[in-house]
Amino acid sequence: MTDVQRYKGVLISLIFVVFIFYAYELDFGYLESVGELLSIVTDEPVNGSFPITFYQSAYVDHRFDPPRLRIFTINKCLKNNQFLLADLHFNKNNSAPVRKNIYGIPLNRKCPINYIEQEGCVYNPYTFSIVLNRNEDLSKVTILLGSRKVELSVQKIYKKSTEGITVCLQPVYYYSQWQNIVLYIEAWRAHGATRFIVYFHSATKETWKVLEYYRDLGLIEIKSWPGYPSLPVDIAYKYPRIDDSVFILSYFMAMNICILDIKTTIGTVADFDEVMVPTNGRLLDYAAKEMTGTKAGALIFENHYVSFTPKIYSANFSGVGSPKFKILAWPSKYVFNASTIDIAQVHVPDSFTDSSMISKKADGALLHFRYDAESKNLTTTEKPFRFFPDDEHSTHIKNMEDTAQKIFKGVMPKFSSKPYDTLQECVNKIMKAEDKICVSTGGLCKAEMDKVEDWVYAKSEPLFLIVT
Ligand SMILES: *[C@@H]1O[C@H](CO)[C@@H](O)[C@H](O)[C@H]1NC(C)=O
Ligand SMILES: *[C@@H]1O[C@H](CO)[C@@H](O)[C@H](O)[C@H]1NC(C)=O
Ligand SMILES: *[C@@H]1O[C@H](CO)[C@@H](O)[C@H](O)[C@H]1NC(C)=O
Ligand SMILES: *[C@@H]1O[C@H](CO)[C@@H](O)[C@H](O)[C@H]1NC(C)=O
Ligand SMILES: *[C@@H]1O[C@H](CO)[C@@H](O)[C@H](O)[C@H]1NC(C)=O
């Protein structure tokens, strides 16, 4: 017998043992695995009749070794056996594109999306990935959907080496509380943040002015997050418009794309009313000390609702010096090692590029100055947490007030809760709808929002592509 034959023999006997074990122990389990095996045989490509939209760029993520191609989409739930059929084009003379089947998972692991109360949602954020060879230089990806196709450009991602914190912002959506942004940017800066990546959909003129001010200082990068395209006409009539209820999906998507764009060692995703602070010192020093050279890939900060007296909405920031806390540990937020985070969820990391990495509870707090924090039925507690890491609160407060004066040239806009209330009313209406409807804002609220304010909207070509 040759070696090959001998191994074959061993293999066949092994398969037999497994077979008998399965048949004996788990009749039904065995039948199911046969079912699974058969379904693998009948895997089918996603074709042009499937509702899907693609983020315009694919990524080659060299934080993994070997690197991985990653594609981001919004689509209807996939069956286990569905894959994207793609042609990978390489920068190599005379090389034909390589055809691959690429499988995907929902970004939040559940389909349909289970975030808050989303049972009526048809669409879900997905990520598709496949391992590449180390020395291949990918130039373009063509997704083949039957007779149609979509072309994605390719960006390369590497481990992050610049020391600092980058803060990612979800698509800013009908945003009116510009005072939050001033406190947010100044507090995060004092804790070591060097760059803010702000995905922008819509905001009041006042909010836009604040964003422009910090953009011109070179601190924030405003990236347009415009509406989504309609599905191809021959299938559009069968499905709801993607853009209608897309807010939560955009949130998951923007967060995970933003992570790839971070160039600093540490990153975080936080809303305009959230600042993470350690009990002592600066966040950057604390996070670097806790994570560098350890298995900790993320530090989780427990939620502390914060209220200020007076409120900051009159652009008087004096209350920031003596915040009051109402504690409800969940929902938490986190900072992460930007070289190792793989998929991010909203409140905890989902996975790391190195599966031995873990999350760790931080010695600190998420200071959450939510608009409705006052109305939370929780006891107010004394806590040592402060927004700024030094003892110069009065200097920071004066700086924030001066900054507001500068941005508005001494004429402070009067605060109105109308835009905020209108958005809440619109969402409440969606929640009370009789039909199962996706409880997420989006195009659905546009008409109502346009009645109360002259919004600044993102102007750019759609970031998501459909088949043509
Ligand atoms: C497209 O895919 C669906 C579901 O996978 C399948 O039922 C249908 O026959 C396919 N259409 C074409 C034209 O291949
Ligand atoms: C392809 O061939 C040309 C001419 O021989 C050469 O100049 C070029 O560098 C090659 N490109 C790659 C990607 O190998
Ligand atoms: C992040 O992870 C990389 C890879 O494990 C490690 O080399 C680096 O020291 C970590 N950086 C921080 C700030 O935790
Ligand atoms: C801010 O409000 C406090 C309390 O109402 C008041 O004493 C203070 O003068 C105000 N500061 C400014 C700059 O308006
Ligand atoms: C607030 O919480 C307390 C204790 O849980 C409860 O007795 C009270 O009814 C609550 N009040 C409101 C307005 O929900």
pLDDT tens string 115-144: 666 567 889 999 999 999 998 899 999 999
Mean pLDDT of 185-205: 97
> Distance (Å, rounded) from C-alpha 400 to C-alpha 178?
12
What is the C-alpha separation between 380 and 273, in angstroms, rounded?
19
The domain made up of 162-407 is a member of CATH 3.40.50: no
**Residues with a CB atom less than 6 Å from ligand 3:** 265-266, 288, 291-293, 337, 339-340
- Ligand 4 atom with the smallest distance to the CA of 401 is 13
pLDDT band per the 50, 70, 90 thresholds, residue 288: very high
Residue 434 clears pLDDT 70, i.e. is over it? no
Q: Is 268 in contact with 192 (CB distance < 8 Å)?
A: no
Q: Quick check: do 52-157 and 162-407 share a fold?
A: no
197 band by pLDDT with thresholds 50, 70 and 90: very high
Q: In this structure, which ligand is nearest to the CA of 93? A: 2
Q: Which pLDDT score, from 0 to 100, does residue 5 have?
A: 52
What integer pLDDT is reported at residue 428 of this predicted model?
85
* 64-73, 145-154, 236-245, 278-287: segment of lowest average pLDDT: 236-245
Average pLDDT, the chain: 88
Region 241-245: mean pLDDT is: 86
Q: Is the CB of 139 under 6 A from ligand 2?
A: no
With a cut of 80, say whether residue 225 has pLDDT above it: yes
Delimit the domains of the chain by residue range. 3-42, 52-157, 162-407
Task: Determine the Cα–Cα distance for residues 338 and 50; give it in Å rounded to an integer.
Answer: 34
Output the CA–CA distances (angstroms, integers) from residue 410 to 10, 315, 404, 413, in the order listed.
84, 11, 8, 9
pLDDT of residue 18: 42
Rounded-to-integer distance, Cα 376 and Cα 277, Å:
22
Residue 187 has pLDDT above 80, yes or no: yes
Query: In this predicted structure, what is the pLDDT of residue 41?
Result: 58
47 Cα–ligand 1 center, Å:
6
Which ligand sits closest to the CA of 137? 2
For range 456-467, the mean pLDDT? 89
Q: Tell me what pLDDT residue 381 has.
A: 87
Q: How far is the CA of 48 from the centre of ligand 1 (A)?
A: 8
Question: Which numbered atom of ligand 1 lies nearest the CA of 82?
Answer: 5
* pLDDT (0 to 100) of residue 19: 43
| Ligand 4 centroid – CA 319 distance (Å) | 9
Q: Does domain 52-157 have CATH number 2.60.40?
A: yes
pLDDT cut 90: percent of the chain above it? 70
Q: What is the mean pLDDT of residues 354-379?
A: 92
Give the distance (Å) from ligand 2 centre to CA of residue 96: 15
